[in-house]
Amino acid sequence: MSKNKGYSEAPPDVAAELERSVTVKDFLPSPDEIAAVLKKEETIPVTMKLKKRTVERYKRYAREKGIKYQTFVSAILDNYARNILGR
């Protein structure tokens, strides 16, 4: 017995939203690319709440690459701002 029931038609409201959706180009670099281009710049402390699971993933990856996880998160945010805000 197969657990996969296949796809069915989306409810009308969901189908309408899918029709209006816009594809966004994947502009974020891979974690490896971010880790490779980390550089020191002036920083300021920021307090924010993040999901525990997300922080644990970043910490694990940073530990594997031998970098600081906060610097890694900062690089992700910097790249996002550059690509979205053009700065």
Q: Look at 3 and 20; give whichever has higher pLDDT.
A: 20
Over range 31-51, report the average pLDDT.
81
Query: Chain-wide mean pLDDT for the chain?
Result: 83
Q: Are the C-beta atoms of residues 17 and 65 closer than 8 Å to each other?
A: no
Distance CA 68, CA 73 (A): 9
Q: For the segment 47-86, what is each residue's pLDDT rounded down to a tens digit?
A: 999 999 999 999 999 999 998 999 889 888 888 888 888 7
Q: Please list, in sequence order, all residues whose beta carbon lies within 8 angstroms of the beta carbon of residue 32, skipping any fewer than 6 positions away.
A: 65
Regarding pTM above 0.75, the answer is no
Whether 27 shows a pLDDT value over 60: the answer reads yes
